[in-house]
Amino acid sequence: MAESALLELKDVSKAFGGLRCIDKLDLDVAEGEIVSVIGPNGAGKTTLFNLVTGIYRPDEGDILFEGRSIVGLAPHAITNRGIARTFQTLRLFLNMTVKENVMAATYGRTRASIVESMLRLPRSRREEKESSRFAEERLGFFGQRLMGYRWNQPAYSLSYANRRRLEIARATATRPRLLLLDEPAAGMNPVETLEITELIGKLREEGGYTILVIEHDMHVVEGISDRVVALDHGVKIAEGTFEEVATDARVVEAYLGTSAMERS
Amino acid sequence: MSDVIPPRQDGPQAPSESGPQIGVDEWVARRQGRLAAPTTMAGRAQQQLTRVPQWVLLVGFVAVVALIPVVTSDEYVLRVTADTMLYALLAMGLNVAVGWAGILDLGYIAFYGFAAYLFAELSSPHYGLHWPTWASVPVVIVATIILGFLLALPTRRLSGDYLAIVTLFFGVIFVTFVTQGYRWDWLGFGGTHDITGGPNGLTQIDPWRIFGYELTKVRDYIWVEVAGFLIVALVLAFANHSRTGRAWRSLRDDTLAAEVMSMPVNRLMLLAVAVGAGVAGFAGAINGAYYQGVFPSSFGFATLITVYAMVILGGAGSLPGVVAGAILINVLLEVLRDPDHARWVFYVLVFGFIVAKIRPWRVLGAVLGGLVVFGLVVNAIVGAVWPRGTAGPISTGVFEFTTNGWLAAALRHWLVLPKDTYEVADYQISNVAFVILICLVLALTVVQGWWRYVLLVPTIWTAAFVWETHLIEEAPTTRPLLLGVILIVLMAVRPQGLFGTPRVEVV
């Protein structure tokens, strides 16, 4: 990498019992890049995210963020360093309101202690106001979709697409530098998929985030990626521009099997 | 290639700025429609309640309770008020861990007991310590908070069933400790030592003393509780609407997501248990002084279940809810002490349940009509065959009888009342009837269709018979029984509790 990498995985391995989910993986993401991770089901894409966010601890190897190792840190500490993620299976705080969902994620960026909150001391009041304004701004990123009357609705009343949007808003409320998006277009209709493609570009331009995204929809991958990384059985099988990866023999084999190769 | 965003195609219609109104909005509209025009009574009450700002509710409630000692000097009413306020404090404390953070903390009552005992140790002749109130109460609260931290430390990584078992173990061990604590032997060195007074508890506890004024009357403690309630309610409401409160509710909804969204889950769980323990500590310090004695039996399983019932019935997570739950359950328990009152509760409950649950209307009419006819016929037959069987009096407790009141008069013509329930043969009848009742209830759960309504008639009649001849006389057994029934009925009607909002687990 010419620039210094924001996120760097060195020789990372993770096994569950005898199953090697990630096998000696090297990966780096430069500041300001949008990198897509593709691969068939079970290739280890989500495991990769879980390793980076500290939910799993790698068996071997090192993960560097901004040049410092984050292995062994608790997930909330890693988030405070500047990595935020969304989940493939949506994990919103369903019984809280839309705005509260986003405000909750500012926890790591606020400092008022429980005593200050209980007594409504100045710092607590100031941070409340800031969090509220910040949450509104984050929700405003999605146009009118999550605005107005929606703020005070419970998250469970949102549509699937809006839940995905809310998850992105919540992740950005932790003020990250690196955003990990786990299948942001899953379960969306064609119009919404198109919209999410634009959105990911907009996220980088306006928010300045570096983005690592897992995606199955190849139109989305084609539309957003600076670079594509293909995984299969925990091993990186291809890396490069979309065209390079899409035409790579091993990628086609991983998706379609060997006989497809022979036929073509 | 990299930054190129695919041009929007003219395929499906492009989203407008306000977004396409698909699916969800219909659902939301329907839900909002229901909220705007609720159909049930509880729903309507809740709607009215949510319109009132919460601080108005708080001030109103506090003012009303504070005026009770001014309006009445009836010792009984005052005692019930003081007990209820103590329970309200406890319920609010439990709500922090259970309602907000979603931690199933069954050791909560040990904090309450610990605080009461600590206050007793510090201000009774047991050790000859007579600390002033301004010192002992803060020490008790802080010590209970520390105990909360210590107990939560080994449990903070547990959740669900495991957490329940371990915390329940703490609760049980506390009762064992204070019951056996009168022969504490310092690991076998230096003979035994009486720490807790054992089963007899600690007595002669000093009353609170505030600004030289000694609190000896019940009404003094009501005012202390009202002031404490005001502070605790405000502080907890503020905490709930802060970053910490949001974090608690986040980890209740999804612990993993909360952790990944920058919230230190373990620390927050400790904090929730400790804050709840602090409230329990305050309530415990009042308990010791107010009852002038502490006993192991006050802090056992029964108290824990009562406080839990208050939180769940009122709606876990809602402060006005748990307070309403505390009032409802404690007042109900008092009402059920008196058979004349308990009788009304019983029949209103049975009647209410029938009317609420049986539809269509003609079936409801048939069941009610059938009930009346069934009772009258049985009464007539028994009266003709065995006159003594219908000549009994209506009981109003042990060895007290009444013949007054239209309800009593109606019951005399509808039920079979053996003359003397203390005669062996008659007592046996009601025992047998109790077994029959259980069989009927079991049968009721098995049969289907209109047989169910047919069977319902003798079941209710038998229930009334057992109630009048047996249960009503044994208030200590009947009270928890009836309370259980009320809870079951309420939970069936409103699973989220009286003021709780329905919670969605997985969608």
- Please indicate whether, in this complex, the C-beta atoms of A117 and B243 are within 8 angstroms of each other: yes
Instruction: Go through B17-27 and write b for each residue having 16 or more CB atoms within 10 A of its CB, e for each that does not.
Output: eebbeeebeee
- From CA B127, how far away is CA B12, in angstroms rounded? 83
Report the alpha-carbon distance of residue B494 to residue B490 in Å, rounded: 6
Do A73 and A204 lie in one domain? The reply is yes
Q: Is residue A168 part of a domain?
A: no
Supply the pLDDT for residue B187.
Answer: 80
- Determine the length of chain A: 264
Residue B17, in any domain of the structure: no
Do B55 and B172 share a domain, yes or no?
Answer: yes
Residues B260 and B131 in one domain: yes
The verdict on A130 and A247 lying in the same domain is no
Are B318 and B392 within one domain? no
In a domain, A69, yes or no: yes
Name the residue among A85, A104, A226 with its Cβ closest to that of B250. Answer: A104
**CB atoms closer than 10 angstroms to residue A73:** 18
* pLDDT for res B32: 58
Question: In this predicted structure, which of A39-43, A254-258, B167-171, B501-505 has the lowest mean pLDDT?
Answer: B501-505
Residues B349 and B468 both lie in one domain:
yes
Given a contact cutoff of 8 angstroms between Cβ atoms, the answer to whether B198 and B181 are in contact is: yes
Span B26-49, average pLDDT: 62
DSSP state of B187: G
Residue of B nearest to A99 (CA): B246
Nearest-CB residue to A120 (from B238, B264, B271): B238
Does A74 lie in the same domain as A121? no
Please indicate, yes or no, whether residues A235 and A215 belong to a single structural domain of this protein. Answer: yes
Kind plus residue range of the DSSP H or E element containing B31: helix B24-36
First-last CA distance in chain B: 39
Same domain, A132 and A240: no
Asked if residues B7 and A201 have their Cβ atoms less than 8 Å apart, the reply is no
Contact between chains at B249 and A201 (C-beta distance less than 8 A):
no
pLDDT tens, position by position, A77-116: 999 999 999 999 999 999 999 999 999 999 999 999 999 9
- Indicate whether B465 and B349 sit together in one domain: yes
A–B: how many Cβ contacts below 8 A?
A: 162
pLDDT for B112-152, tens place per residue? 999 999 999 999 998 888 899 999 999 999 999 999 999 99
Interface test with A, best of B25, B156, B232, B243 (most A CBs within 10 A): B243
Residue B390: predicted pLDDT: 79
Tell which of B290, B310, B335 closes a domain: B335
Judge whether B1 is closer than 8 Å to chain A, CB to CB: yes
| Chain B residue numbers touching A109 (CB-CB < 8 A) | 262
Tell whether B88 and B212 lie within a shared domain: yes
Q: Is pLDDT at B40 greater than 70 in this prediction?
A: no
Q: Quick check: is A225 in a domain?
A: yes
Token code pair at residue A9: 């995985």
Does any domain span residue A196?
yes
Averaged pLDDT for residues B430-454: 90
Considering only CB atoms, which chain B residues are within 8 Å of A118? 235-236, 238-239, 242
CB contact under 8 A, A94 and B504: yes
Residues A102 and A51 in one domain: no
Within a domain: A87: no
| Domain contains A166 | no
Instruction: Tell me the residue ranges of DSSP E strands in A171-240.
Output: 178-182, 210-214, 227-232, 235-240
What's the CA gap between B101 and B247, in Å, rounded? 8
* Residue contact B243–A156, C-beta within 8 A: no
Residues B331 and B345 in one domain: no
Which of the listed residues A159, A191, A215 is the one where a domain comes to its end?
Answer: A159
| A91 within 8 A of A204, measured Cβ to Cβ | no
Claim to verify: residue A47 and residue A100 sit in the same structural domain: no
Q: Does residue A165 lie in a domain region?
A: no
A52 — pLDDT class (breaks 50, 70, 90): very high
Q: Are residues B284 and B331 in the same domain?
A: yes
Average pLDDT of chain B? 85
Please name the member of A95, A157, A222 whose beta carbon is closest to the beta carbon of B24. A157
Distance between start and end Cα atoms, chain A: 35
Contacts of B15 in chain A (CB under 8 A): 191-192, 195
Instruction: Give a yes or no: residue B12 inside a domain.
Output: no
> pLDDT-derived band of residue B155, with 50, 70 and 90 as boundaries?
confident
- pLDDT by residue (tens digit) across B241-254? 999 999 999 999 99
Residue A196 has pLDDT above 50, yes or no: yes
Considering the domain architecture, whether residues A184 and A259 belong to the same structural domain is answered as yes
Residue of A nearest to B22 (CA): A159
Q: Determine which of A14-23, A173-182, B14-23 has the lowest per-residue pLDDT on average.
A: B14-23
Mutate to test the interface with B, among A33, A91, A227 (most CBs of B within 10 A): A91
Does B360 sit behind a cis peptide bond, omega within 30 degrees of 0 on the bond before it?
Answer: yes
Residue B449, token pair as written in the block = 């269709």
CA-nearest of B278, B271, B234, B248 to A119 is B234
Q: What is the three-class DSSP state of B339? A: helix
DSSP states of B245-313: HHHHHHHHH-HHHHHHTT--HHHHHHHHHHHHHHHHHHHHHHHHHHHSEE-GGGGSHHHHHHHHHHHHH
Same domain for B407 and B391: yes
Q: Taking a C-beta distance cutoff of 8 angstroms, is the pair A252, A260 a contact?
A: yes
Last residue of a domain, one of A159, A184, A217: A159
**B174 shares its domain with B239:** yes
One domain, residues B257 and B118:
yes
Domain C-terminal end among B311, B335, B359: B335
A257 and A180: one domain? yes
Checking ipTM against 0.85, whether it exceeds it is: yes
Task: Choose among B4, B242, B264: nearest Cβ to A76.
Answer: B264
What does the pLDDT look like over B220-237, one tens digit per residue? 999 999 999 999 999 999
CA angle A111, A116, A119 (to 5 degrees): 155
**For residue B316, what are the domain limits?**
51-335
List chain B residues with CB under 8 Å of A85: 260
- The rounded distance, in Å, linking the Cα atoms of B43 and B377 is 40
Q: What is the CATH number for A54? A: 3.40.50.300
pLDDT at B116: 96
Query: Is B394 within a domain?
Result: yes
Phi, psi for residue A124 in degrees, rounded to 5 = -60, -45
- A164 in a structural domain: no
- Provide the β-strand partners of residue A235: A232
Where do we find the tokens 């008196």?
A: B338
Lowest model confidence (mean pLDDT) among A127-141, B86-100, B321-335, B399-413:
B399-413
Q: In total, how many domains does chain A have?
A: 2
Q: B35 CB near a chain A CB, below 8 Å?
A: no
- Tokens of residue B61, six digits: 């409630």
Assigned domain for B275 exists = yes
Tokens of B350: 């049975």
Residue where a domain terminates, one of B335, B352, B379: B335
Mean pLDDT of chain A: 91
Say whether both A71 and A96 belong to one domain.
no
| Residue B202 resides in a domain | yes
Instruction: Please state, in angstroms and rounded to a whole number, the distance separating the CA atoms of residues B37 and B453.
Output: 32
What total number of domains does chain B contain? 2
Kindly report the pTM of this predicted structure: 0.85
B257 token code pair = 């997501």
Q: Where residue B28 falls among pLDDT bands split at 50, 70, 90?
A: low
Residue B422's identity, in one-letter code, is Y
A203-A207-A213-A215 Cα dihedral, nearest 10 degrees: -10
User: For residue A60, what is the DSSP state?
Assistant: E
CB–CB of A74 and B253 under 8 A? Answer: no
Residue span of the structural domain in which A149 resides = 92-159
> Is B191 contained in some domain?
yes
Measured between CA atoms, the residue of chain A closest to residue B265 is A76
Q: Is B13 on the interface with A (CB under 8 A)?
A: yes
Q: A192-201, B12-21, B92-101, B287-296: which range is least confident on average?
A: B12-21
B377 touches chain A (CB under 8 A): no
**pLDDT value at position B278?**
97
Please check whether residues A9 and A69 belong to one and the same domain.
yes
How confident is the model over B259-289, as pLDDT tens digits? Answer: 999 999 999 999 999 999 999 999 999 999 9
The CA distance from A125 to the nearest CA of chain B, in Å, is 9
- In this prediction, residue B506 carries a pLDDT of 61
Count CB atoms within 10 A of the CB of residue B114.
24
The reply to whether residue B246 touches residue A162, judged by beta carbons under 8 angstroms, is no
A190 and A78 part of one domain: yes
CATH classification at residue B331:
1.10.3470
B224 and B304 within one domain: yes
Q: Give the CA distances from residue B447 to residues B355, B454, B460, in Å, rounded to whole numbers and listed in that order.
A: 20, 10, 16
Nearest beta carbon to residue A105 from set B253, B261, B501: B261
Give me the pLDDT at residue B455, please: 93
Which token pair is B291? 């009852």
Residue B3 has pLDDT above 50, yes or no: no
**Average pLDDT of the residues in B314-333:** 91
- Closest residue in A to B241 (Cα–Cα): A117
Helix (H) or strand (E) holding B36: helix B24-36
Query: Apex CA B125: angle with CA B124 and CA B129, to 5°?
Result: 65
For B187-224, the pLDDT digits (tens) are: 877 778 888 888 999 999 999 998 888 898 999 999 99
CB A161 within 8 A of CB A142: no
Q: Is residue B15 part of a domain?
A: no
